Amino acid sequence: MAVDPELRRRLLGIARAAIARAIGAAHQGERAAAPASGEPRVRPGDSGVFVSLHRRSDGDLRGCIGCFEGKGSLEETVARMAVEAATHDPRFAPVSPDELDGLSLEISVLSPMEDVAEPNQVEVGVHGLVASRGGRRGVLLPQVATENGWDREEFLGQTCRKAGLDRDAWAKPGTRIQVFTADVFGEDS
């Protein structure tokens, strides 16, 4: 799904405001109110969303959470995933109010997932990947492979590794590989 420039700006503003409300409320020992998103433009279930937070100082990841199917409007899904990325990514402590200005937000609006029959159908720089097997699942967004200079095999291996599988699990029967595309935009782009 291509997101027009006006909606991109709006979604980035919604994400930042939702995080600010959530971490401000948490810092004061309160629960944040649900964000007001105005008139939704994209209806429920239309798009999955991932929100990534990066430190402006060094570009390092500070949080990333997403879903493959929206529940509510796109605006509501972005707000919810932004708060989750800032407060519930298990790899990081919750974002503090002092950190917020030093973070850059990036939103990835996803296409539906499609199964691939052959690994050579994976296009690095175009596709994101989902590798799943036996109740384990790993996800990497399309930009991760290009940011790290990975080829197709490394991208598949890293996605399996993220799922807690052997790096070569993508080549074994019983491992499901799915692809998706993403419209990726951020505050610094």
User: What digits encode the pLDDT tens for the residues 127-156?
Assistant: 999 999 999 999 999 999 999 999 999 999
Domains identified in the chain and CATH numbers: 5-110 (3.30.700.20), 114-183 (3.30.1490.150)
pLDDT at 70: 80
Q: Are 159 and 131 in contact (CB under 8 A)?
A: yes
* Pairwise CA distance, residues 33 & 122, whole Å: 41
- Note the pLDDT tens digit of each residue in 48-79: 999 999 999 999 999 999 998 888 899 999 99
Question: What is the 8-class DSSP label of residue 29?
Answer: T
Q: Which pLDDT band, with edges at 50, 70 and 90, does 29 fall under?
A: low
Give the phi and the psi of residue 171 in degrees, each rounded to 5: -95, 0
Identify any residues that bridge with 115 across adjacent strands, giving them in sequence order.
178
188 vs 115, which has greater pLDDT? Answer: 115
- Cα distance between the two ends of the chain: 18
Residue 7's region, left for phi above 0, alpha for psi from -120 to 50, else beta, is alpha
Q: What is the mean pLDDT of the chain?
A: 89
Task: Mark residue 125 as left, alpha or beta (left: phi above 0; alpha: psi -120 to 50; beta: remaining).
Answer: left
pTM of the shown model: 0.83
Contact 185, 5 (CB under 8 A): no
